[in-house]
Structure 1
């Protein structure tokens, strides 16, 4: 399925170019914050359903930023259209997660090398077995080098992309934790599947906003200020 027109029911750029590299925060207001804080000559390319999207430059390189909403269905819809309709080649999710491991703390940065999931999104591909959702190594390697240069410690490993925020099974997270899952979030596996199927690059960079096991949380005000390290790493991938 492809669209002939350079717009979709969900993204209407009105002639504004969408860059080959795009940052994808879940919250569209975080996209606006990134633009106002970091980008030059930014132009808005989307406002449909208030899912704000912008294209500008960062250190002379063209880059776009757009919100994706919450959950795999929303992320998968927007990332599919960005890839197949608008030609995006590098998709970097920047979001929040709930830590599961004892050695992790609030505001830690996580690179999702892999994304396990309780979703059945993969069924559409009719694969004859289980599929492992993994990041683009090129983006992951560059992100790790950038973090090292900035002196920012990061966790690299497997995350959980869950369809369930309020789980009736109170033992679920402990089971994932025992398998070494670093943290839980709700979008990455869908992004990685879309990217793999299309042959493009994807990476998720997360900041720990709460610790599920220790029942620790950050405030919305703290998150806006503390998440800039994650944003600055992602911007260097353009």
Structure 2
């Protein structure tokens, strides 16, 4: 049991999905897992454990932003010794060739947040994904014929950004997309020698201004979750 997760150690699996929205955690459990148990309701941040294709898998809501992700990832890693963590969520595309609904596999995550500076001081730490999970996700996407893009993303503290010159600079340096959690997850996974990956669907095109409808977001999210779950299957 930890401060924000009301579960015994045996209630949480070694493999876990991390959606930001706790209602999406419930959706994943209902749509994909068998023999499901709800192990957490603290602060409404739902957590579930069940079986997917013979593998024990948990799914835990994390909230929005690096501070919230840091709380849940740290407790899962430190108090529950989780081994493989996959963030499943959405992102905004920074490259014109990336279309709505396509997948982003975040190989690395730069950030404008000061959270890592509190740890590394003057060092510009580069959080990266687990190569094993990255390869598994790429293979799973290819098997299901999903278009995916692999590369660097930006994890930002600001959801609403109106800094076009900054976007242009990021685009010129090959940044694929923007999210608000991945850098925190990768940094903590490295600290605890665990495997982590962020798999995201493009819900907003920041270059063209296109946005997905609620129905599109739901459908695309479930497709992406299936790809993530297959990373845990041998």
TM-score bracket, normalised by the shorter chain, equals over 0.9
- Of 106, 111, 122, 1:112 maps to 106
Q: What is the alpha-carbon distance in structure 1 between the residues aligned to residue 111 and residue 12 of structure 2?
A: 29
Q: Following superposition of structure 1 onto structure 2, how do residues 148-187 of structure 1 map, counting pairs within 5 Å?
A: 148-167=142-161, 169-187=163-181
Pairing 1:219–2:218 present = no
Pairing 1:103–2:97 present = yes
Secondary structure, aligned partner of 2:168: helix
8 Å contact kept, 2:203–2:211: yes
8 Å contact kept, 1:22–1:64: yes
Secondary structure, aligned partner of 2:202: strand
**Alignment coverage as a number of residue pairs:** 232
Secondary structure, aligned partner of 1:11: coil
What is the Cα deviation at residue 172 of structure 1?
2.1
Secondary structure, aligned partner of 2:150: strand
8 Å contact kept, 1:98–1:210: yes
Q: 1:49 to 1:179 in 2, by over 3 A?
A: same
> Where does the alignment leave 5 or more consecutive residues of structure 2 unmatched?
none
8 Å contact kept, 1:16–1:45: no
Match of residue 198 from structure 2: 204
- Of 41, 56, 59, 1:47 maps to 41
Q: What is the alpha-carbon distance in structure 2 between the residues aligned to residue 42 and residue 16 of structure 1?
A: 14
> Where does the alignment leave 5 or more consecutive residues of structure 1 unmatched?
1-6
What is the Cα deviation at residue 215 of structure 1?
0.6
TM-score after normalising by structure 2: 0.95
Q: What is the alpha-carbon distance in structure 2 between the residues aligned to residue 63 and residue 175 of structure 1?
A: 39
Q: Cα RMSD (Å) of the superposition?
A: 1.4
What is the Cα deviation at residue 167 of structure 1?
2.8
